[in-house]
Structures are given as structure tokens and as C-alpha cells.
Structure 1
């Protein structure tokens, strides 16, 4: 079956390349573009040959999946092995200007040129090292080609797995890339380096704009929920060092003074395709609880989960207390659902504006308290009693509503600008991807292209 499938895939791509590549171009398997040496195209060692307990803080750096990103060899979250282990794994050594390829998504078969920061590296089991034959292929062109959509789609089709696909070394060796004359390869590489750099600069500017807008948005929220909207209001010392002064008529109290904090039922529910929604961490990452992709449980488990006044209702807040601590969203839909694991319910016991409290929970007035309250090393969490004792600044209810109404308008404007910047980034990324594909398949003729001086 696999042989038949591979033949069909080859037929599809051979037909595509014959139809859309320039007539004088060829295609080559990656195997035929590697140095014809014993270690010219190899994958990483078996897991038993390199164990995590052999990792060190210095020595020969490893190349792991997380070091291959966006066409670059990223020197971050580095692990090392000693010289003795490096010699044992000499077959898996990569040097600057080799190409490393990820065998696993996301995405599968992404590639990068090995950095010259170190003289040598060792690849791990889920990576592949290819030493290009530079008499046959331009190094940078080969990188662009491997990372193009045309080659990546082929790689995905021959990969295995469901939740996270994987491509093996044998399939990588058979992977075909467009193969123009070497002079044209170099022209394409120079063209793409230049043109994608311009797009990347524009993307970076939009990302900086988004960062500034988010900072401005957060600053407006923080000021409003700690100082109010009246710049002439008399101020007083809050008595809390990190909070500073607050309006004289405000009070600083614990959350439990106005809100009841109810923990989830610590019960592992049965999940079903059709049933009653559960709100856990994923469902509280936006302003309102979003159940569109939530897990579901049976009526029997639902009744157990809402036992003890745990049924969420409009005006309540669902707050994440484990893992991604501090995410919060209000309940604004009148349907039956239950709290899942890792969250708690915050329900008003006095007249208090829900939106105002949400802004406080998402502002430094609360997030600064979290830092000293989180427990656990790798899996962070906060006790429900600590949440009950959060200090919050409380103006009158009418002023709370005035502040939340103002912040709703301001944040809507900021979110709209952020959304436009994100859309611009997406369009530029699409343009970048299309440009790469067009260049490496000859749809753009760059043989006479010259670098612009702008």
C-alpha cells in the first residue's frame, strides 16, 4: 500500500514540476545534492545513544527541534554534551553551512543553515543533517527550496502520524526540489534574501506597533483602575507599597469582601462528542467565556460538577488558577455549562461591576500580587484562599461602571488597531510565502534582476 501511495504522490509532483517549472530546469532528490560521504546525509542518534541526563551546561551544543525555526538556526534554550560524548556521536556532528532539517512538525521538514557561532554541533534524534555538495547546489537556494510550500507539501504527504506528523530519513532523501542552473540558483537566492528582508522589516515594524499598542492599552487600564478618571480627585496613600496613592473616597479591600471564590470540583469528568460544555483554561483566554471548542461531558458528570453552587451564571467570572494562571473571562451566555479542571468561579456577593473587576484582574494591581503567590516549579498554580485575599481598589459602583464603560471604548479602539496590524502581518506573510514559491519554481524570472538601491 505504501509503495502504491508513494508512486501516486510522485506522479502528482512530477506532473506538477513538468507543467510549471521552466522547460530547461530539472528536479533533484535531496540525496543527490548531498556530499557523497559516509556522514553527508544522516539523522540524529537513537534515544538510547543520547539521553537527557547526559546534557550539560557547556561543551558541544546540540541542535534540537526548537532550534530550527523560521528558516534559521536559533541559538536559544541550548543544551550541550561533553567532548567524550561528542566523539562517540561523530556521525551526527554538524558544522557551519551544513543544513539541518526537522523530522517533526511544526512544520515538518523545516530547514536551517547551521550557524557559525560554534565550530561544531551534534544533532538529536528528531533532526537530520545534510552536507550540500556545493558544486551541484547553491547553499542558500537549497534552503529556500526546502522551506518552500511546494517541497513542504510533498514532505507532509509522505509523513506519518496523526497529532504530530513525522518524516523519516528515507523519505527526506527522496524528496525532490526544483533544480535550475547553478548561476540561476544564486540569482534566486540573492533575490529572495533581498526581497524577503524588506518584507521582514515591514513585518517587524507592525509587530513593534502591536507591542506599543498593547503597552499603551495596559497603561490606560492600569491607571484607570488605580487612579480613576478624575484627574482632580483628592488622593490618599493606599497603605499598599506597590499600589501607591488612590482616590481619597476609594477603599482597598480583599476580593472576598465583595466576591465569593468557588473552586472547581476536583473530579475527572468523562468526555463525550455531544454533551454539556466544560469551561477550563482554554475557554477563558478572551474577555468572555468562549465555549465554541470546549470539551463536553455527560449529564451525570455535569450534575456532579455543578454541585455546591458551582453552576456558572451570567455576571460570574471564570478564573484560571493552574498552569496559565491569571486568565479570566466573564460569563455572558445563559446556557448550561460547568467548570472544568484548573479554574475557579468568582461570583459577586455585593453590588460590583463585573467588567471593572475583570480589568483589575488583568491589570498589574492583581498580576503583581500573583508573582509572590504562585507555587510549584514547573507547574504553576495558586491556592483559592490566596485568590480570595487579592487586594483590589474599589470606587463606588457608579464609578466602577463609568470606568469600565470608558475602558471598553478605549480598549475597543486599541484592539481594532491591533487587529488591523495583525491582518497586515498576515497579508505580508502570505506575500512572502508566495514570493518564495514563485521564485524557486521559476514563475518569477530573476536572471536579469538587480538589487534596488532603496
Structure 2
């Protein structure tokens, strides 16, 4: 993945702490000497609209995309304008976020438009790595911000115009190659996630374990008799299975009515019990206590039916509807907030129930429920009436044993791919830093056809390719 690039023959101290040494022939300049800086200004709120009347209006970095803004508002009386190919920078918290204007925008007080006198993409990447400096000089009593004076006086390295173009061309190609690899790996993760869910679905609704089916005696066979489940989103099930409802095999609880709580009931760690919500279930359906919340002991003991215990299941009923977690480790005294449903006293194998709730079939059930309500949520009554296949405990446990092994294999591959993506992202960030700060010498660089990373697609001009040529 990594290629060694040559360095310049001689370097000198830049005098800038975060920058370190720069090539001997490079200069140090200030932003005001290489750009035109245009600070944003508030507009009359009565002129702001969402019906696309007037000029697209950007209030801050909330409208920033990966490279270009995604406007949500318009104004009929614009005051400060950012033109196409100008760099947009957030001057209020979080200070230093960047985008590039792809057309004419009106900018509010939270933004500044910077028009480069030389290469656009070179300056854009240089300002991105300067964010550490923005964080250092930003000040404010209620929120961080950066003044016009401080912004204009930011010191930056300045290679020749020709070198800037070389660096921009290099970064355009190399970052595109890295992004292509990352994109393919992200698609692989998406495929693996869907594959895992299909494996779970076939096991918990069809009794299919790999290319075999599990029969009534617990044996793996080539085929078994199937029957209609009577539930559209479940379809056929093995002939010896039954269909039941959640309310017949478990107790469902929520924090409702007087059992709700306010911020006055929240306490510091050590003064109460954990209270779990949707934010505590991560994307891998595991309990994440990196940002814990605690509720008073009085409020905790008020509702014993929602005290969380080992092997209980938690389902998000508001927000990220349908996310499921199983309490499979000790977390101490804990309860739930109103965003969750607690499932306990489960009469079937809890882990089988957990897998079933993570199947495509149940996802379809959740979609049907949500699409029929004005406010996206699942009520306890609706969850009580969720259908599920039911078979003897021995069959449940064999399905669980298979799924534990199979999903772990898939999860391992997903994690390996995620780690690979992080390595490529770090490499990309490092390559950008080394290029725009002169840590590598690109004066002799010529566009190459894919080199050590991936075949570069030259079939159409990308936005970055266009920007790399803008002076």
C-alpha cells in the first residue's frame, strides 16, 4: 500500500510549531497575502425560506457535505456572497471545518469565503491540516470562534505556483485511488452485514443451517417438509414448528406514565443506577457504556419490573427503531429510559429470540408498523403481538450454536475490513500532510496509471480533478 517518496535535498525551520521543517526554497506567508477573505454576515430572518426563493443561504457548517455544501435554506436579500470555487471555512464552533463552493451562495456569520490567488486544491488541503492551529487560536465565552484578524494572519507554507499544481495533481490522483479502495471495502462491509442477516433469517425462520436443514430430531438433512406460517413477512416454516406471539413467551415492559423521569432525577456516577437508552446500543447491537447516564436510587427502585438483568433483551422503540441488544454480561444495577422496551422472563432460549429480532423478517415487521404511524415508534402492544416461530428448546439451542459460530466468522471479517479502511484513511491523511508541507518532493511527479494502489478511472472528470487545475 505504501510507497516511499523522495525528500527534498535541504530543509529549513518554518518557525511554525505544527508545521516543522519545510523545503529550503519554500516561503512562509500569511493567508491574507495569498487569498481574498470575505467574512459572512447575518441576513434578515424574514427573507430566509425553504422554497428555493432567492440565493442558497449557508448559515454554518451544518450544511457542509463531503466536499460541497448541501443547502437547506435560501434568502431573497443576500448580503455576503461566496462564489464558485471559493473555500468555505467555519469561523464558529467547530472552527476550521471546510467545504468548497460549487456555485454562488450567501454566507451567514458562521462562515467565511476564501478566494485563493493560486491553486485552489493545494490551499484547501493545506487549510484542512491547519485545523489544529484553528483549534488553538479560536476563542469565545459561549462558543469558540476565530476573528477576521486571526484568520488573515494564519501563517502557511508557500511553494512555487508550479509546485502547488504538481502537489494538487498528485493528491487528486492518489486520494482518488485510496477513496476507490475504501469505497470497495465499505461495499464489502455492507454486503457482509446483509449476508449475516440473511444467514440469521434462514436459520430462525426456515431451520436452514448452511446448506442443510435441521429436522425434528435435531439432525441435519438435505430437505424438510415446510408449511405456510400464516404470517406474510415470515413465509414458510418447517412443518414441525409452530407460530406464537411475543406476549405468550415473554414479559414486555417500558418506562411509561408516572414512571417517566426528568433531568432532575439524573445523578452522578455512584449516586444511582445506570439508565439505558437507544444511544447505549451500538451498531453491532452491543451495550456501549462509553457515555453512561445515571438515575437516582429512588427512581430506580420505584420500578422493579424494568430493572435490567442478565439475559434480558432491549429493543429501541423510538429513534433507531428495532435495534436490539442482549444483556450478556454484568453491568450492575440498571434500568431503562422511555426509548427502550425491556423483554424479560423469556420462556424460550433468549439468544434464539435475540437472533430472531435481528432477522430480515422482523425488520420487515418494524417497517410495516412504522409506515402506518405518524410518529415513528413501536408500542408495547404492537411488540406484544409480534409473531415468531417456536420449536422445542433443543432445536433452538442448536440453531443458536450454529449462528454463534457463523456470525462470529462474518463479524471477524467485517472487523478486519474496518481496520483495513482505517489504515487507508490514516495513510491518506498522512500523504496529504506530507505533500502540502513539503515532507516529500513531488516536483518530478507525473500522473501515473494506478501505481501501487488501484487503477485510476479517467473516464470522467471528478470534482477534485477539476479543482486541482483551478488557479
For 1:110 and 1:376, the matched residues in 2 are separated by 38
Q: Is it true that 1:23 corresponds to 2:24 in the alignment? A: yes
Q: Is it true that 1:111 corresponds to 2:67 in the alignment? A: no
Q: Paired residue for 2:119?
A: 138
Q: Is it true that 1:266 corresponds to 2:260 in the alignment? A: yes
- Listed one character per residue, the Cα deviations across residues 113-170 of structure 1 (whole Å, up to 9, x for unaligned) are 222xx4x22224422211222xxx211211111112xx11001112246997544444
Q: Is the 8 A contact 1:289 1:332 kept in 2?
A: no
Q: Is the 8 A contact 2:69 2:101 kept in 1?
A: no
Unmatched 5+ stretches in structure 1 = 1-11, 36-40
For 2:145 and 2:357, the matched residues in 1 are separated by 41
For 1:164 and 1:240, the matched residues in 2 are separated by 54
TM-aligned CA distance change 1:349 to 1:214, over 3 Å: closer
Of 344, 361, 366 in structure 1, the residue corresponding to residue 362 of structure 2 is 366
TM-score, normalization: structure 1?
A: 0.84
For 1:411 and 1:15, the matched residues in 2 are separated by 50
Task: Give the root-mean-square deviation of aligned CA atoms.
Answer: 2.6
Q: Is it true that 1:252 corresponds to 2:248 in the alignment? A: no
TM-aligned CA distance change 1:17 to 1:225, over 3 Å: closer
Of 274, 279, 292 in structure 1, the residue corresponding to residue 276 of structure 2 is 279
Kindly indicate which of the two structures has a greater share of residues assigned to helix.
1
For 1:246 and 1:200, the matched residues in 2 are separated by 43
Q: Paired residue for 2:412?
A: 416
For 1:164 and 1:398, the matched residues in 2 are separated by 59
Q: How does 1:380-395 map onto structure 2 within 5 Å?
A: 380-395=376-391
Q: Paired residue for 1:92?
A: 80
Of 221, 231, 240 in structure 2, the residue corresponding to residue 240 of structure 1 is 231
Q: Is the 8 A contact 2:90 2:112 kept in 1?
A: yes
TM-aligned CA distance change 1:346 to 1:428, over 3 Å: same
Q: Paired residue for 2:134?
A: 155
TM-aligned CA distance change 1:50 to 1:445, over 3 Å: farther
TM-aligned CA distance change 1:289 to 1:192, over 3 Å: closer
* 1:329, distance to aligned residue in structure 2 (A): 1.0
Of 432, 448, 453 in structure 2, the residue corresponding to residue 452 of structure 1 is 448
Of 46, 51, 56 in structure 1, the residue corresponding to residue 51 of structure 2 is 56
Q: Is the 8 A contact 2:260 2:338 kept in 1?
A: yes
Q: Paired residue for 1:336?
A: 333
Of 72, 80, 96 in structure 2, the residue corresponding to residue 79 of structure 1 is 72
Q: Is the 8 A contact 2:189 2:414 kept in 1?
A: yes
Q: Is the 8 A contact 1:277 1:291 kept in 2?
A: no
> Which structure would you say has the larger RCO, counting Cα contacts within 8 Å and 6 or more residues apart?
2
TM-aligned CA distance change 1:180 to 1:384, over 3 Å: same
- Listed one character per residue, the Cα deviations across residues 186-216 of structure 1 (whole Å, up to 9, x for unaligned) are 1111111111111111111111111111121
Q: Paired residue for 1:327?
A: 323
Q: Is the 8 A contact 2:241 2:389 kept in 1?
A: yes
Q: Is it true that 1:205 corresponds to 2:184 in the alignment? A: yes
TM-aligned CA distance change 1:111 to 1:347, over 3 Å: same
For 2:319 and 2:51, the matched residues in 1 are separated by 27
Alignment: residue pair count: 416
For 1:315 and 1:161, the matched residues in 2 are separated by 48
Q: Is it true that 1:294 corresponds to 2:278 in the alignment? A: no
Unmatched 5+ stretches in structure 2 = 1-12, 214-221, 451-471
TM-aligned CA distance change 1:18 to 1:320, over 3 Å: closer
Q: Is the 8 A contact 1:110 1:146 kept in 2?
A: no
